[in-house]
Structure 1
Amino acid sequence: MLADAPSLRHAAHLLTVDADWLTAQTDWLSRNVDALPAAGFRGEAADTAVARLHTLVRPMTLPPEQMLRVAQVLSMTAGLREELDAAARRALALADHVTGAAPLAALLLRDLRALGDVLDYTCARQIDLLCTPIPDETPARLSDTPDLDLAAVHELNMLSSPVPEHPDVQVLESADGRLVAAVGDLASAASVTTIVAGVGSSDPAHLPAHLDRARTVAAATGGAAVLWLGYPAPGSVGRALAQEPARAAGAELQAFQRELARRFPDQRRVVVGHSYGSVVAGAAASRGGGLYADDLVLIGSPGAGVDHAGQLTLLGDHPQVHAMTNPSDPIALTVTEGAGVHGPDPTSPGFGAQVWPGDPSGNHGSYWEDPRFLARLRGLADQKNPMASSE
């Protein structure tokens, strides 16, 4: 956290004073250089020397300008910090004087702390932009803000996210048509299940249904769930024949899981790839470096982009690949035991995955309503035998 409001204002004042002094010194140097010819310093060589001195003095005008802009940023930050501090004092007073208000005040204080962290981050970044030639790019990935906690990351993303506010959802990434959001207390959860969605998942109209699936998984596993829409998903089955979107998305998923592992190294990680999302998950796990996951679950899969589960590298304790396709899922028509556009059927015996029996009455979208499937996910999250959990 940056300094408090009085310290920020004091720093702004010192910068302003020093900038004024540097400006005065630069003006003094310029006047003295201009006065050299009048003192008898004439001739071609003298004119060249005077021009050179002006060239050397001119860059000295830049630091005072930067210092004044930084002072302005610090003054604005101080004002916003004072408003946050005042809101925190009101929240504490509410908890002290209103019966039953303590839980609400605690939530408000948590959000105010997150906003304070965002303010600190934004202030520091703005100063960097003023003083160094770094590009002015908005953070797009969770790894772009490694020092911010998830609450602050959420507040930062909500400044530009088109996603409506959901009390139970934290937006972890939101840029370039991509969205990654967590349901449940990701920071304290013992397990996290990352759901990689498939065809049509980039359509904003489908977002409520995807969030409900994440809520269902979080409730079933007792941990957190991440809805990973971190790529421009194919909009139709025909476009899902392409492999390039999955390869590009696989790199993004790999980076996201790596950042989760860095932030929460003791957390158990499960990745569920649904439909074309299983192709993405397969691409992530078959890339160099592997995928940070204890278990990979491929459901309703047209293939994982590899010929055998042994080609998928999972970075976890006793990692395993699991596969499940409902008998009535039409995705089965696109893949066979021996081949498919994205590789063989992951539920085929030769693929090498742990196969979960599908629901005879289920379809391509009903996995999230299948209690046996959810019980198996709970088993993975609890580090139990997933088959035993379905008994």
Structure 2
Amino acid sequence: MRIDAPSLRHAARRLTVDADWLVGQAEWLSRSFDELPATGFRGQAAEAAVNRLHVLARPMTAPPAQMLRVAQVLSVTAGLQEELDAAEVRARGLVAGYAGAADALSLLLHNLRVLGDLLDYACARQIDLLCTPVQVEEPTRLGDTPDLEVAAVHELNLLTAPEAVQLLALEQPDLQILEVADGRLVAAVGDLATAPSVTTIVAGVGSSDPAGLPVHLNRARTVAAATGGAAVLWLGYHAPVQATHALAQEPARAAGTELQLFQRELTRRFPGQRRIVVGHSYGSVVAGKAASAGGGLYADDLILIGSPGAGVARAGELTLLGDRPQIHAMTNPSDPIGMTVTEGAGVHGPDPTAPGFGARVWPGDSSGDHSSYWADPVFLARLGELADQKKPAASSE
């Protein structure tokens, strides 16, 4: 529950009063120590004892200063909260005389509430920084801010996002930035809070290049439209820059851990959604590492497209945490990725579309290449069918 402005100001006043009292106590102790020689307590040992008492009492000066800094944070927060409260009053007054303005008012009030939540978070974080002796790390994952709704997480991330990401969010106002840090970006299109399904797209080689973000986002929009749900562009790792670097296992292994964490937090926030993960190219290696590592991957369906292998010998080694989980695979006949993997072996394991792998194989587009999956109506229709599958009702037992 959000703390109101009067409560913030009251807490600031109490801290200020108590800080002044502690300052007075510290000064009284210091005077008492200085008065000890007048009682006959003299000599080198007595002087050393008085000096030692002053040293022991010195830490008492730190809490009042800390309390005053916290009081200042609370006062500033109270002033900002009062501005938000006043904005709400003005908004209600402006639309009161307009018929059909209820939806606009509801949206405006929601945005003000999001700003209030973000203000609460910023206030609490600043107090943590003032009161914690060790450095508090900046949030970099969706799970680092579990109490903030997605809209507030988006606003928080924009405060530290690179300029390219900020411009992207400005140009595409429906974009929700879920994670951003050090060349990593996780963004959603569609309303995550209400969407019946969410499809996480794990991109591959070269996807960390900011110049390619519009292309990846267009793919996410296409998937969201095809499924009728939300889509997440997951670039939560430093993707290999070029194909020769995609032979490495370690980037996929590290990224798989990050993908696990993201899908777990997504499930915690929206447990009723159907979850689909699509791994494209090297992204399928990442998704395979996530599903084969300890703990498994929170997904109902995993789709490996244009895959050089999933890091395992067979689909049975992949663990999906979902309802009736299934592994699917698809590679276009003209996709050159097919030359890097065989039915029996490959740098990242055998071809996921091979019969012995055990995935449900979707036939590829005979004229399609490595990047045409996102424009293939058959592929998109299959995605839509998966998204439409209803999750079973929770047992009442």
| TM-score, structure 1 normalization | 0.95
Structure 1 residue ranges without an equivalent (≥5): 385-391
Any idea what the Cα deviations from partners look like across 1:296-355, whole Å, max 9, x if unmatched?
000000110111111111111111100001111111111111111111111011111000
CA distance in 2, matches of 1:321, 1:128: 44
Aligned to 2:61: 61
Hey, what does 1:93 align to over in structure 2? 93
Q: Is the 8 A contact 1:94 1:101 kept in 2?
A: no
Counterpart for residue 42 of structure 2: 42
Give the conservation status (yes or no) of the 8 Å contact 1:273–1:281. yes
Q: In the comparison of the two structures, how many residue pairs are matched?
A: 384
State the shift of 1:10 in Å. 1.7
Partner Cα distance (2:52, 2:2) in 1: 42
Match of 1:15 in 2: 15
Where does residue 160 of structure 1 map in the other structure? 160
Which amino acid in 2 is paired with 1:322? H
3-state DSSP of counterpart to 1:269 = strand
**Secondary structure at 1:231 match in 2:** coil
2:327 to 307, 316, 321: 321
Q: Among all aligned residue pairs of Structure 1 and Structure 2, give the percentage whose two residues are the same amino acid.
A: 76
Matches within 5 A, 1:95-174: 95-162=95-162, 163=165, 164-165=168-169, 166-174=172-180
8 Å CA contact 2:128, 2:136 repeated in 1: no
- Please say if 1:213 is aligned against 2:209: no
Partner residue in 2 for 1:303 = 309
Q: Distance in 2 between matches of 1:90 and 1:366?
A: 50
Indicate whether 1:373 and 2:379 are aligned. Answer: yes
CA separation in 1, counterparts of 2:355 and 2:348? Answer: 17
CA RMSD of aligned residues (A): 1.3
Q: How far has the Cα of 1:244 moved from its partner?
A: 0.6
- How much has 1:262 moved relative to structure 2? 1.2
Of residues 360, 383, 387, the one that matches 2:389 is 383
**Deviation, structure 1 residue 99:** 4.5
1:245 deviates by 0.4
**How far did residue 111 of structure 1 move?**
1.6
Aligned partner letter, 2:80: L
Give unpaired runs (5+ residues) of structure 2: 391-397
Distance in 2 separating the partners of 1:91 and 1:330: 57
Which residue in the other structure is 1:287 paired with?
Answer: 293
* SS of the residue 2:64 aligns to: helix
TM-score, reference length from structure 2:
0.94
- The answer (yes or no) to whether the contact 2:66–2:130 under 8 Å persists in 1 is yes
Q: Cα offset for 1:100?
A: 4.7
Note if contact 2:186-2:236 (Cα within 8 Å) is conserved in structure 1. yes
| Alignment partners' CA distance in 2, 1:316 and 1:131 | 41
Q: CA deviation at 1:167?
A: 1.9
1:349 maps onto 2:355 in alignment: yes
> d(CA) in 2 for partners of 1:69 and 1:226?
40
SS in 2 for 1:80: helix
- Map of 1:278 onto structure 2: 284
Give yes or no for contact 2:206–2:242 (8 Å, CA) kept in 1: yes
Instruction: Give the Cα separation in 2 of the matches to 1:260 and 1:182.
Output: 12
Which of 244-253 and 73-82 deviates more?
73-82
Q: CA deviation at 1:188?
A: 1.5
Separation (CA, whole Å) in 1 of partners of 2:40 and 2:98: 82
Work out which of the residue numbers 234, 242, 247 in structure 2 matches 1:241.
247
- In 2, Cα distance between the equivalents of 1:146 and 1:259? 8
Q: Distance in 1 between matches of 2:112 and 2:180?
A: 21
The one-letter code sitting in structure 1 at the alignment partner of 2:329 is A
Q: Which has the higher mean CA deviation after the structures are superposed, 257-266 or 319-328?
A: 257-266
Alpha-carbon distance, 1:288 to partner = 0.5
Kindly state the Cα deviation for residue 101 of structure 1 after the two structures are TM-superposed: 3.9
What secondary structure sits across from 1:35 in the alignment? Answer: helix
Deviation per CA, 1:31-83, whole angstroms, max 9, x where unpaired? 11112113211123312321221122111101101100000000110111112
8 Å Cα contact 1:9-1:75 kept in structure 2: yes
Partner Cα separation in structure 2 for residue 82 and residue 158 of structure 1: 23
CA contact (8 A) 1:128 1:134 kept: no
Q: Where does residue 176 of structure 1 map in the other structure?
A: 182
* Per-residue deviation, 1:7: 1.8
Give 2:303's aligned amino acid.
V
Question: Secondary structure, in 3 states, of the residue corresponding to 1:36?
Answer: helix
Distance in 2 separating the partners of 1:84 and 1:203: 38
Structure 2 distance, partners of 1:89, 1:195, is 42
Match of 1:200 among 203, 206, 213: 206
1:106 aligned partner, one-letter code: S
In the other structure, the counterpart of 1:229 is 235
